[in-house]
Amino acid sequence: MGIHPVLSAMRRDKVGILLIVLQMSLTLAILCNALFIIHLRLRDSARPSGIADEANVLIVTGN
């Protein structure tokens, strides 16, 4: 299949092209926002808690 029929159809149907561009833009915006939220959560979880976690460990062993 050549590219000529695809380009010809794209020239005739401007609304279809607009919908595809809008869909790609929305998808990219959602993906970027999700990655930014993940980045913020990872940054917050890597921050020291201020509590002596090592001193508050309880080890339970069986007999």
| Domain assignment of residue 41, yes or no | yes
Q: What is the distance between the alpha carbons of residues 60 and 56, in angstroms, rounded to a whole number?
A: 13
Structural domain of 36: 11-45
Identify the three-state secondary structure at position 54: helix
> For residue 36, is it within any domain?
yes
Burial class (CB in 10 A: 0-12, 13-18, 19+), 13: exposed
2 in Cβ contact with 9 (< 8 Å): no
Task: Evaluate whether residue 40 is within a structural domain.
Answer: yes
What is the model's pLDDT at position 1?
Answer: 67
Per-residue pLDDT of the chain (63 residues; tens, 9 = 90+): 688 988 888 888 889 889 999 999 999 999 999 999 999 999 998 888 777 877 888 888 887
Number of domains in the chain: 1
